[in-house]
């Protein structure tokens, strides 16, 4: 009997990867290519969508040939896609050519528009409809910006010549034929990050479309996260494409957080904590985002509360590249272990503002509590602790918003190799922190969803059986000390706020 596999495409911020998984969820083969980052102006971040498509076409055959004696395309049962969310592409339906480079989720050029939206009509207007408060993070302000700065775009869109998509839509359209009948679709997790989808109906919201002046004709059809989207007509001819999820939702799925109250946090350059709230749409009043966790075919959608943290691993990179206190990222743990505590020093890494639960673009980074006693070891420990305290702020907001109480945190991402950080997390959260055997949780989540839709895996319980714990950290911190240090952290955050003041002129 021929061994069969599921293929996952992880289209990330810095690279695109193709991974083959077997029935036990084990990685069989991987191929990866990075793409160029463009920074044409301060605060602008762009990608070349055509370069990303070319990279995908190269890595799929590389992944097939890299699996032992090689894997035939016919042995791939299904293809799933996980993608960087919110990154915005507009392209010509007839030529398949993007109108400009893709505007990446990190891009802040829409900040003036976002500030106007927060004033009028205000956060509540958007939270009620799409579960999101206005932010440079999301797609709708980017689409509006492109309409305002691209001559003739409004008419071309009205004529039906233009298509919008986030990266999964762009790739699926190309995979399924492109200009020759490509399918223009998205899934509910990605649509939920546009500020254009109604969180209750899971359909494009006509009031929001009218508000932003975005014609319905440019939008993809919203589908579930796991169903038959179409057959590949490019790199794997005839193979079914059966799943798409935003990368953080894919990580939640890959961590098998299928029950209400289960949560994961992905620790990378920034960090993203998602809590499964089941079929309940929990609207946050504490600075979190309401999002769709996943939707499997005709089953009801599962929702989540999300707390994005802007800077975690990026602070370690800053220690390495700017301060040159360490020569490599793992060196932060070695340096932090030279001291027993932070020496009274706290670092709030608000390099470009604070995300959840504060959402303050006027914040900037601060180091407080400096004395002549402080060493670079104390600074390193304060850097790691800042990730812990920022996570605690998000968890506290989740506990306040929801009747669900976090009992355990599953973690993934590059920073989870730092064992001291993992213990700090357990201590400040006062819950066990668990790292899985499978490191590729984003790719695995897309593979799981695709395999379920294709019948490769029978149900969620089979997937739970594939999850295995690699390491666990238990809380070991005096509650009084935890409360005292958390209060100090909150005082430090207060000092970071309001640093950037509105300009009074050019």
Which residues, 6+ apart, have CB-to-CB distance to 273 below 8 Å?
Answer: 263, 264, 265, 306, 307, 309, 391, 394, 395, 398, 409
Q: What pLDDT is stored for residue 506 in this prediction?
A: 34
Asked whether residue 13 carries a pLDDT value surpassing 90, the answer given is: no
Q: Can you tell me whether residue 387 is helix, strand or coil?
A: helix
CA–CA separation, 139 and 116 (whole Å): 16
Stretch 61-87: mean pLDDT: 91
Strands 15-21 and 27-34, sheet pairing: antiparallel
Stretch 429-450: mean pLDDT: 95
Distances 137 to 8, 78, 110, 273, 303 between C-alpha atoms, Å: 25, 31, 9, 16, 19
Percentage of the chain modeled with pLDDT above 90: 82
341 assigned binding-site residue: no
Specify whether the CB–CB gap between 205 and 129 falls below 8 A: yes
Q: What pLDDT is stored for residue 136 in this prediction?
A: 87
More confident call, 438 vs 195: 195
248 assigned binding-site residue: yes
Asked whether residue 505 carries a pLDDT value surpassing 60, the answer given is: no
Asked whether residue 496 carries a pLDDT value surpassing 90, the answer given is: yes
Q: What is the pLDDT of residues 273-282, one digit of tens each?
A: 999 999 999 9
Asked whether residue 494 carries a pLDDT value surpassing 80, the answer given is: yes
269 assigned binding-site residue: yes
150 assigned binding-site residue: no
* Residue in 388, 460, 395 with CA at minimum distance from that of residue 261: 395
Stretch 286-307: mean pLDDT: 95
Asked whether residue 2 carries a pLDDT value surpassing 70, the answer given is: no
15 assigned binding-site residue: yes
85 assigned binding-site residue: yes
Asked whether residue 503 carries a pLDDT value surpassing 60, the answer given is: no
Percentage of the chain modeled with pLDDT above 70: 99
Q: What pLDDT is stored for residue 162 in this prediction?
A: 96
Structure tokens at 381: 């420990």
Four-point Cα dihedral 60, 61, 67, 70, nearest 10 = 150
Q: What pLDDT is stored for residue 373 in this prediction?
A: 97
* Residue in 106, 114, 107, 113 with CA at minimum distance from that of residue 134: 114
Residue the block writes with tokens 């190799």: 417
* Residue in 367, 219, 261, 272 with CA at minimum distance from that of residue 82: 272
Structure tokens at 492: 């430090």
Stretch 406-433: mean pLDDT: 96
What is the pLDDT confidence band of residue 502, given thresholds at 50, 70 and 90? low
User: Which H or E run includes 54?
Assistant: helix 49-65
Q: Is 358 left (phi over 0), alpha (psi -120 to 50) or beta?
A: alpha
User: Which H or E run includes 471?
Assistant: strand 469-473
Specify whether the CB–CB gap between 18 and 60 falls below 8 A: yes
Asked whether residue 504 carries a pLDDT value surpassing 70, the answer given is: no
The backbone torsions φ and ψ at residue 170, rounded to the nearest 5 degrees and listed phi first, read: -60, -45
Sign of CA dihedral 432, 296, 306, 23: positive
Strands 226-231 and 221-223, sheet pairing: unpaired
Sign of CA dihedral 152, 221, 295, 412: negative
Q: Can you tell me whether residue 249 is helix, strand or coil?
A: helix
CA–CA separation, 311 and 324 (whole Å): 18
Q: What is the pLDDT of residues 325-376, one digit of tens each?
A: 999 999 999 999 999 999 999 999 999 889 999 988 889 999 999 999 999 9
Stretch 368-393: mean pLDDT: 97
Structure tokens at 432: 């066990």
303 assigned binding-site residue: no
| Helices and strands, number each (H, E), in the chain | 16, 21
Stretch 127-143: mean pLDDT: 91
What is the pLDDT confidence band of residue 61, given thresholds at 50, 70 and 90? very high
Whole-number average pLDDT of the chain? 94
Asked whether residue 76 carries a pLDDT value surpassing 90, the answer given is: yes
Stretch 198-215: mean pLDDT: 94
Q: What is the pLDDT of residues 162-190, one digit of tens each?
A: 999 999 999 999 999 999 999 999 999 99
Asked whether residue 38 carries a pLDDT value surpassing 70, the answer given is: yes
Q: What is the pLDDT of residues 462-487, one digit of tens each?
A: 999 999 999 999 999 999 999 999 99
**Helical axes 479-496 vs 419-429, angle rounded to 10°:** 100
165 assigned binding-site residue: no
13 assigned binding-site residue: yes
């Amino acid at each position: 009997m021929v061994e069969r596999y599921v293929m996952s495409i992880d289209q990330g911020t810095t690279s695109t990867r193709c991974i083959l998984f077997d029935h036990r969820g084990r990685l069989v083969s991987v191929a990866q290519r990075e793409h160029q980052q463009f920074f044409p102006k301060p605060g602008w971040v762009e990608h070349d969508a055509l370069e990303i498509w070319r990279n995908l076409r190269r890595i799929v055959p590389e992944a097939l040939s890299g699996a032992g004696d090689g894997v035939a395309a016919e042995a791939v049962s299904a293809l799933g896609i996980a993608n960087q969310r919110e990154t915005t592409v507009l392209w010509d339906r007839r030529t398949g050519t993007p109108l400009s480079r893709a505007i990446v989720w990190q891009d802040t050029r829409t900040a003036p528009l976002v500030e106007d939206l927060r004033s009028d009509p205000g956060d509540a207007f958007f939270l009620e409809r799409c579960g999101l408060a206005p932010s440079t993070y999301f797609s709708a302000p980017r689409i509006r910006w492109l309409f305002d700065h691209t001559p003739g775009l409004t008419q071309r869109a009205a004529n039906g010549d233009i298509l919008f998509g986030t990266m999964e839509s762009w790739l699926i359209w190309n995979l399924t034929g492109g200009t020759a009948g490509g399918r223009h679709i998205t899934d509910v997790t990605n649509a939920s990050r546009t500020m254009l989808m109604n969180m209750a109906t899971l359909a494009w919201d006509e009031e929001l479309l009218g508000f932003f002046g975005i014609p319905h004709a440019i939008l993809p059809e919203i589908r579930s996260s796991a169903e038959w989207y179409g057959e590949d007509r490019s790199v794997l001819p005839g193979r079914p494409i059966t799943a798409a999820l935003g990368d953080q939702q894919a990580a939640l799925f890959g961590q098998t957080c299928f029950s209400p109250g289960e949560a994961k946090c992905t620790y990378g350059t920034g960090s993203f904590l998602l809590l499964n709230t089941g079929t309940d749409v929990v609207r946050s009043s504490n600075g979190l985002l309401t999002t769709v966790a996943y939707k499997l075919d005709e089953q009801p959608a599962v929702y989540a509360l999300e707390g994005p943290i802007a800077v975690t691993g990026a602070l370690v990179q800053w220690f390495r590249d700017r301060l040159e206190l360490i020569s490599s990222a793992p060196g932060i743990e070695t340096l932090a272990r030279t001291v027993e505590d932070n020496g009274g020093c706290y670092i709030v890494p608000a390099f470009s503002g604070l995300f959840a639960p504060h959402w303050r673009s006027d914040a900037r980074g601060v180091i407080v509590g400096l004395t002549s006693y402080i060493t670079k070891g104390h600074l390193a420990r304060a850097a790691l602790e800042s990730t812990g305290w920022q996570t605690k702020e998000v968890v506290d907001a989740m506990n306040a918003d929801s009747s669900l109480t976090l009992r355990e945190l599953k973690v993934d991402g590059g920073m989870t190799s730092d064992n001291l950080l993992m213990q700090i997390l357990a201590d400040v959260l006062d819950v066990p922190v668990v790292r899985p055997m499978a490191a590729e949780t984003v790719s695995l989540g897309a593979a799981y969803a695709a395999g379920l839709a294709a019948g490769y895996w029978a149900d969620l319980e089979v997937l739970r059986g594939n999850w295995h714990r690699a390491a666990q950290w238990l809380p070991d911190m005096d509650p009084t000390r935890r409360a005292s240090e958390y209060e100090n952290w909150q005082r430090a955050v207060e000092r970071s706020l309001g640093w950037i003041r509105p300009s009074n002129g050019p």
